[in-house]
Amino acid sequence: MRPTLPAPPPAAFQQLARELDRLGTDLLHAWDTPRAVQLLSLSERLHELAGQTHAVALEEAARELARLLRRWIEGGAPSDAERRHALRRELSLTAQLAMMRQSGHEAAGPRLAIPFEEPHRVVFAMPAQLLAALPLTQLACYGFEPVAVDSPRDIEAALTGGDTQALVAYSEFCTHDPWRRAAETWARRVPVYFVSARRDFDARLACVRAGGAGLLAWPLAAHELVDALSHGDSATQRDPLRVLIVEDMGSLAHLYAGVLTDFGLTTRVVTQPQDVPDAIDAFQPDLILMDMYMPGCDGLELARVIRQQRLLDGIPILFLSVEKQRRVQLDTLALGVEGFLTKPVDSDELVMNVIPRARRYRKLRSYIATDSLTGLLNHSHFYGQLEVELARAAREGRPLACAMLDLDGFKAVNDTHGHLVGDAVLVTLARFLKEHRRAGELIGRYGGEEFALVLPGADEAAACERLDALRDAFARLEHAGAAGRFGQTFSAGVSSLDSAGSAKELVRQADAMLYRAKRTGRDRVLGWSSANA
């Protein structure tokens, strides 16, 4: 029976991984028997340590590497092609498992939280008179659970009382500000947004130094807070960043996936290059993490295939490889590849290269594909995504519905309260729809005060029921205008694949039902099949 020994420190495995990589890289370029003997000795040492600590995958990988080297040393030098293929594969797997095998790893930056189930809990910490002025009712309609705290001493109890998406704290950024000091202690554990009447540079700098995720103006508008929570860590808690991992060695791919999942990202593994286009279409990744050397189609070729598609030209591709030649790395950058990580890579390096790139792409993509006022998909991108969803629904044999909705009497809002208030109502509806969006649904601003939704998996009856619930909830929101507070409603029309076979026909039918709903009284939802039965 193998004795249970204390686990060696993380540095022992990482040191062996780096030495394996150094010697192995030399062997990849030219066979040298004495160097192969050194590499064999390191492999056997790593195999022994892995066995002592019950690291089964690492123990097996080190044994296979040692077996390969021993065969070559005893039986004669391998051919260049055999060496480069077999050694690259075994060396890559063994060194990477050794570099990442430690559990309970703490990253250099804060971890992303595991996604929350709705409603999203937000703690508001500020004096009682300011709490009274908060639009808490509107925040609840956006899908938030607001928790009010009127004493700095109570912040800890509020934050430890449940999963919290963000802390919103008032501060005047003076020298002895108890609210700022209390909030600052939590800035590395939960996103902290400061609210202040100050907007000067010193206040912004103080916010940064306190670890604030953002600075919001006082008085606080509900849609501005929702907009702030739509970016950064707090956004990825609700809609995690998505990373597609393309690696022919499944064990290595799942190792990377495990590390990224621990940091709150969503991953999908693809081991066959020919499956990548469909995976991109279905998964809609924010970044592709790709091995450079794969049988049948290498990473450079696959990157070119991806870049051929106009809508995928900007998606970041991050290469992982044992390749250390600068010329080869520069060739990958010439393709527009985002970066190059040399195996073995540790968890910190992987996560800190993936998260900022994926987050930046998601933000840039939203600027290009979305309407500047509402942040929803613009007309052309909505139509393009509808075509994609329509093809997927046909391929998978599942229902799909399309809805068109329009604000009732919107001209009167502009005439009575002014166009700035009208724009605020449009933004409020957009934020409301985004906060109530279910996974896979698309929302676009079709034009003016007209919006469009795609509901994959929903037939007409389910879509009408859902739109009616949204209509009822939105009607309960209040809007502030020059002539006082007022309510606003919308009407909607719905069609589905039961009655339409193309994107153009889906939109036409839904639009026809929308205008019938407005002509027959407004503030209602009509479906094509039921209205034309």
Whether 171 and 177 have beta carbons less than 8 Å apart is answered as yes
Distances in Å between the Cα of 292 and the Cα atoms of 305, 322, 323, 335, 341 are 14, 9, 8, 13, 10
User: Has residue 219 got a pLDDT over 60?
Assistant: yes
User: Has residue 244 got a pLDDT over 50?
Assistant: yes
Do 49 and 141 lie in a common domain?
no
Share of the chain above pLDDT 70, in %: 87
Q: Which residues pair with 517 in a beta bridge?
A: none
- Given 188, 220, 237, the domain boundary residue is 237
Give the pairing type, strands 400-407 and 442-447: unpaired
Task: pLDDT band for 471, please (50, 70, 90 cuts).
Answer: very high
pLDDT at 103: 41
Structural domain range at position 75 = 10-100
For residues 393 and 382, give the distance between their C-alpha atoms in angstroms, rounded to a whole number: 16
pLDDT at 331: 67
Do 413 and 517 lie in a common domain?
yes
Q: Which secondary-structure segment (H or E) carries 456? A: strand 450-456
pLDDT at 227: 67
User: Has residue 57 got a pLDDT over 60?
Assistant: yes
Do 399 and 342 lie in a common domain?
no
Do 383 and 527 lie in a common domain?
yes
Do 179 and 322 lie in a common domain?
no
What's the rounded mean pLDDT across residues 187-201?
90
110 assigned to some structural domain: no
374 assigned to some structural domain: no
113 assigned to some structural domain: no
**At 526, which CATH number?**
3.30.70.270
Do 229 and 250 lie in a common domain?
no
For residues 165 and 146, give the distance between their C-alpha atoms in angstroms, rounded to a whole number: 10
Return the structure tokens found at 481: 């205008």
Express each pLDDT in 76-123 by its tens digit. Answer: 888 888 887 888 888 888 888 888 754 433 333 434 433 334 457 889
Cα atoms in the 13 Å half-sphere on the side-chain side of 331:
12
Answer with the residue of higher pLDDT: 419 or 6: 419
What's the domain count of the chain? 4
Do 513 and 387 lie in a common domain?
yes
Express each pLDDT in 346-399 by its tens digit. Answer: 888 899 899 989 988 887 777 777 777 887 888 888 888 898 899 889 888 999
109 assigned to some structural domain: no
